[in-house]
Structures are given as C-alpha cells and as structure tokens.
C-alpha cells in the first residue's frame, strides 16, 4: 500500500497567492480517524460497515436504486460495490461526519458509483470539523493513502433538469452526447439506460419501479440538494467501457440547477477531470480540486452558472505522479453541429489554479493551458490567478475566419479585431453550422494574472513563448511532444494587456515550486515571503448579485484574512476560517449570531439545557 501524509495546504495556499506571514516548509500527517467527533461521531475505525445496496432495491447485479427517503448516519461506514442510484422524488440525506467507500473492480460494467437521478436529491450538508468523506474502499483514512491512487471507484454523479444545449439528432450518440430527445443526454461513460439520463425533453415512464407519466421540461431553478463540506477522493474509475474518456470524474454535474447548493467541496486524486459541468445553471463557491489526472474544471453543453473562490493544484507529473491537462477546459457544445443553440457562458471570478509545468502530453491529455478555450467558447474569466501552465490563454480557431470560415470560434468571440461573422441577434443563427455565428466579446478574459505560463515548444525549440496562443495544440512522436500552436500576434498582445491581464515570469508572494518524496507521501516547499504585488490587485469587482462577494483582488484568497482552506481538521478540505466574517460570536459562520451559535457554544462545554 502506498502511503501519503496529508499536507497543511493552507500554508501552501498562502504562499501560492498572497501570504500574510513568511513560512517555511513543514507539512505533517493529518488523520481522519476522528472525523466527526465534534458532532458526536465515533472513531472511524470503530464504525460498522453497511453495504449501501441493502438500503436500496436491486435492479440488477450491477445496479440498485434507493426508492425511499434515506438517511446515512456517521456511526457507520457505507460501502458500494455497484452503481447506487437515488430515485426520482427521493432524498438521500448524509449526516455530517459520515464516510462512504466505493469498492474497486477491474470490470467497468460493475464499477461502483453514486448517481443522483433527475428529480432526486442528495443532502450532504457537512460541517467544518465533521466533513462527509467519499473515498475508495482501500483508503484507511489514517493519512497513509497515496495521492497516486486514482480510479478506486466511480465517483459522485448528480443529474438535474436545468438547461443544456443537446439537440437531436445532431449530437445523438453515447457518453455525454445526446439521447433521442432534444435536451436529454446520457451520463458520460455509464450504461445508456433510463437511469443515466439527464436534462429534460422526454417523458419519464417509471419512477422507483412504479409506472409514471412525467413530461420533463427545463427548470433552471432545479434543486438537486446540498453538497457542503464534502470530500470526494480517489474516484474516476472506468464505467461502462474500458477506453479513455469513459471515466467518471471526481464530481460530475449534469444539468444541475441553480437552487442546488455546492460550496466548501473538494475532489482529490480523480482519474479523470476533477469536477465537470455538463450544461446546467448551478453555482460553485469555495471548491478545491487536487491531484487529478485530467482537467481541473471542465465545462460544456451550455453551463451558465457562476464560480468564485475556487482552487486547484496539480500533482507533480515531472516525477511521475499524474499527467494532468488544462486548468479550465471550456466548451460551448462539445463538438455538436446544430445551427442554433445557447452556448456555455459562465461567470468565473477569483480562482487560483496551480499547474505542474506539464509539457509532455499523454494520449488523453494534450492541452496543458490555464484556459483552454475550445470550440465556440464563451464566458467571463475575471480576477483569476494561473500559475505554471505550458500556455496561459489558448484560443481555438478551427471554425474561425482563419479556419473553416464558419466563424464563432473562441478566438472570434474574444478578439477586439473580429469584423466578420458577428451576429447581433445571437443566439439565433449562432450555432456551429451558421455562416454568422460569432458574438463580439462573448468571451471575456480580463484582469487575470498568468505566472510562468510560457513554457517553450519542446518539439521545435525556437524560443516562442506560450502565455497566449491560438490554433490547435497538436502532438507528434513517440513519446508525444507538443508540436504546434501559434503565438499571439501584436494585436492580440495589445488586447491582452489592455484588458488588464499580466504574465510575469514571477511575482512576489507566489511560488509554485514543491517537491514530493519518493513515495509521494509528503511534499516540501520553498520559503515564501509576504510581499503585496500590483499583479494581484484588480480594479474590476464581481457583480453585486447576491452570489458573488464583491472583492478587488485577484485569485481565490484574501491576504488580509485567514485562508478559507485549512487542513487542521482533515484532508485538504476548504474549511471556513474562524475569521471568515470577522464576528467572533458567529460560530457557524452563517453571517448572524443566533441560537444555532449558542447551541454550538454549550455543546463545547457539555452543558444541558435545563
């Protein structure tokens, strides 16, 4: 068994972004065996194992479905050895401190994962010291399980009824492509059955084994439940097939609606993307993704949600951990060819993503850009910090005026210099096949800082740097090397600067260097110093819309406050700082002091209300 010591990532974060003190390397082991003790949970090692399938109805040897409202408690460890579905109209409640473990199988058809169906809910509302952990069965939760263990189980999948841009028959097929209804698709990699459908536009004929006649329609306010203080680890097993691309991600969100609450959530060591969004309107806040094998965050098929205060960190591929791919992999429609549809257009503020200098691609990882803006990409990327990627901003052009002439590719949507293929009546006529299908400035990249995102083209070492590129990142050779990408033009460079972006080779307060030991069980980092920098401030603030915090700095962390990421209470989970809102009597950091805080207070002293 490979071993890992959990690191105090809060120290690394302060170093990577803007530190308020100088710190040196000192990272120790953190065990989760007492996770939940403050919520009355017993030691993890003393908990009884319960097969989650025993609380569900058997559908087949590979599938069971939870068909009644069910609560999982923290006095047990729940195991999965198959696909467990949460049925339509059913709520699965997971108490703080609860542990779920997925078992490994080398047969993709039998891979274990937890799937919330359309109309179902998962209420996994953990607490800072009582997080909910979903991990591989082999993880002893004592801090000794290596981050190189990926794909132990499938992961967490949530399906909803919010909008997407799937169209039939244009992108009919398998995986994340559509089913035989416009607006409905199958889960990537899973069996193409009615249980793995997501989106809306069909009729649900069976609910929890009983006949039904539910005509589904898009609901952007759909509510699939709560994920808060949840850690999903060592997921990403191949599901439903044995080829690359059939992995389930750490967390997969399919047409999930904006009334679903996702905050203070992490993924660790996923074999595919850490967190992927397929359409939907769900928002993400205070999420971290660590040591995955593919993209940090991946979105496509019409996602229009919001994101703030999210963090990502790659494993050290240069010493053999993971390859990793892009920071953000951004898509509009996943290579669909419809003439009209609504593209993905999220608002992304205040993220910090730290790459690993990955320059040697693998078969399924050929990007290595901080922002990989693929076909038809739109969205707002503002006040973010990207560190140590091969390329900073990469803009696809294959459909542009310099490509196949159809227009509307990422470069056209971003460039100040787009004069053709602009459709003022977007989205009508704005799809892949239309003659006029770009939207001027529908891709906004402003006030971001790209540190050391200019690695040279190793196939033809001509000195070209890659902090902003366009075209296609092609590969050749065995082993693969990056071959081609077009460096920014003078006009592109001027726009990049005018939009407030910076690409320093280094900046005070940021250091991306660390070193794993031989077993990838611990890492050490350089000494960091707190030096405020103009590269990390911003004159643009997020919208004051009730979701975003209105802040004027770049990146995921505020130098004047304790980091929202802490590992004092477990794995590298984003735990709310006691200084988060500056109110010492607001013990649960919900913004007010009330009876809930008082209950926490008396609980600390074992008092009874008499």
Report pLDDT digits (tens) over 149-162. 888 999 999 999 99
Element spanning 313, H or E: strand 306-313
| C-alpha closest to that of 332 among 212, 431, 255 | 431
Q: In this predicted model, what pLDDT tens digit does every residue of 246-271 receive, in sequence order?
A: 668 899 999 999 999 999 999 988 98
The answer to whether 152 and 250 have CB atoms below 8 angstroms apart is no
Domain ranges for the chain: 1-29+340-348+359-555, 31-293, 580-610
Residue 259: count other Cβ atoms within 10 Å of its Cβ.
Answer: 17
Q: What is the pLDDT of residues 91-121, one digit of tens each?
A: 999 999 999 999 998 877 778 999 999 999 9
Mode of pairing for the β-strands spanning 306-313 and 347-354: parallel
List, for residues 475-505, the tens digit of each pLDDT value.
Answer: 555 444 555 567 778 888 889 999 999 988 7
Question: What is the C-alpha R_g of the chain?
Answer: 23
Alpha helices per DSSP H over 1-134:
9-16
10 upstream amide cis, omega within 30 of 0: no
Query: Which of the pair, 55 or 61, is modelled with greater confidence?
Result: 55
**Is it the case that residue 457 has pLDDT exceeding 90?**
no
Q: Can you tell me whether residue 527 is helix, strand or coil? A: coil
The more confident residue out of 125 and 534 is 125
pLDDT for the residue numbered 536: 82
Calculate mean pLDDT across residues 556-562: 76
Cβ burial, residue 339 (10 Å; 0-12/13-18/19+): middle
CB 84 within 8 A of CB 54: no
Q: What is the tally of helices (H) and strands (E) in the chain?
A: 4, 35
In the three-class reduction of DSSP (H, G, I as helix; E, B as strand; rest coil), residue 427 is classed as coil
pLDDT tens-digit readout, 347-369: 999 999 988 877 666 655 566 78
Three-class secondary structure of residue 176 per DSSP: coil
Q: What is the mean pLDDT of residues 131-154?
A: 90
Average pLDDT, the chain: 77
Diameter of the chain measured on Cα atoms: 78
pLDDT single digits (tens) 216-249: 999 999 999 999 999 999 998 877 655 545 668 8
From residue 600, alpha-carbon distances to 403, 578, 587, 597 in Å are 61, 14, 7, 5
For 168-211, the pLDDT digits (tens) are: 876 665 555 778 899 999 888 767 788 999 999 999 999 999 99
């Amino acid at each position: 068994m490979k071993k890992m010591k959990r690191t105090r990532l809060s120290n690394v974060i302060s170093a990577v972004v803007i530190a308020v003190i100088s710190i040196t390397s000192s990272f120790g082991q953190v065990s989760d065996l007492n996770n939940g003790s403050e919520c009355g949970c017993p030691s993890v090692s003393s908990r009884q194992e319960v097969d989650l399938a025993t609380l569900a109805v058997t559908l087949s040897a590979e599938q069971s479905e939870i068909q009644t409202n069910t609560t999982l408690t923290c006095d047990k460890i729940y195991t999965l050895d198959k696909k467990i579905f949460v049925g339509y109209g059913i709520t699965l409640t997971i108490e703080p401190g609860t542990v779920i473990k997925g078992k490994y199988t080398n047969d993709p058809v039998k891979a274990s994962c937890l799937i919330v169906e359309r109309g179902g809910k998962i209420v996994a509302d953990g607490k800072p010291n009582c997080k909910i952990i979903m991990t591989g069965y082999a993880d002893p939760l004592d801090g000794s399980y290596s981050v190189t263990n990926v794909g132990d189980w499938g992961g967490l999948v949530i399906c909803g009824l919010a909008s997407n841009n799937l169209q039939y028959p244009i992108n009919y097929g398998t995986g994340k492509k559509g089913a035989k209804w416009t607006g409905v698709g199958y889960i990537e990699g899973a069996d193409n059955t009615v249980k793995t459908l997501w989106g809306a536009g069909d009729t649900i004929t069976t609910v929890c084994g009983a006949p039904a006649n539910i005509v589904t329609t898009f609901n952007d306010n759909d509510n699939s439940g709560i994920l808060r203080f949840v850690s999903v680890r060592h997921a990403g097993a191949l599901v439903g097939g044995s080829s690359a691309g059939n992995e389930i991600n750490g967390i997969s969100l399919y047409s999930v609606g904006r009334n679903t609450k996702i905050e203070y959530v992490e993924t660790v060591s996923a074999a595919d993307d850490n967190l992927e969004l397929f359409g939907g309107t769900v928002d993400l806040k205070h999420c971290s993704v660590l040591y995955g094998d593919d993209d940090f965050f991946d979105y496509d098929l019409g996602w229009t949600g919001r994101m703030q205060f999210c963090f990502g960190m790659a494993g050290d591929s240069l010493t053999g951990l993971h390859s990793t791919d892009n920071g953000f992999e951004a898509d509009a429609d996943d290579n669909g060819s419809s003439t009209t549809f609504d593209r993905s257009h999220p608002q992304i503020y205040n993220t910090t993503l730290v790459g690993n200098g990955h320059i040697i691609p693998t078969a399924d990882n050929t990007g290595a850009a901080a922002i990989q803006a693929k076909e038809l990409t739109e969205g707002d990327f503002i006040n973010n910090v990207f560190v140590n990627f091969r390329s900073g901003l990469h803009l696809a052009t294959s459909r542009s005026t310099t490509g196949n002439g159809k227009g509307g590719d990422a470069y056209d949507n971003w460039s100040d210099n787009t004069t053709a293929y602009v459709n003022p009546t977007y989205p009508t006529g704005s799809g892949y096949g239309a003659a006029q299908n770009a939207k001027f400035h529908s891709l906004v990249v402003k006030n971001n800082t790209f540190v050391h995102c200019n690695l040279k083209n190793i196939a033809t070492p001509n000195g070209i740097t890659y902090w902003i590129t366009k075209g296609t990142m092609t590969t050749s050779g065995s082993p693969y090397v990056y071959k081609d990408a077009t460096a920014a033009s003078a006009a592109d460079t001027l726009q990049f600067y005018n939009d407030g972006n910076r690409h320093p080779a280094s900046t005070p307060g940021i250091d991306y260097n660390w070193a794993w030991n031989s077993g990838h069980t611990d890492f050490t980092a350089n000494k960091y110093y707190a030096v405020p920098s103009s590269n990390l401030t911003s004159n643009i603030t997020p919208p004051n819309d009730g979701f975003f915090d209105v802040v004027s700095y770049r990146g995921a962390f505020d130098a004047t406050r304790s980091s929202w990421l802490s590992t004092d209470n477990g794995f590298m989970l984003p735990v709310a700082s006691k200084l988060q809102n500056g109110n010492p009597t607001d013990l649960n950091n919900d913004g007010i002091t009330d009876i809930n805080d008082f209950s926490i207070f008396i609980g600390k002293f074992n008092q009874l209300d008499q």
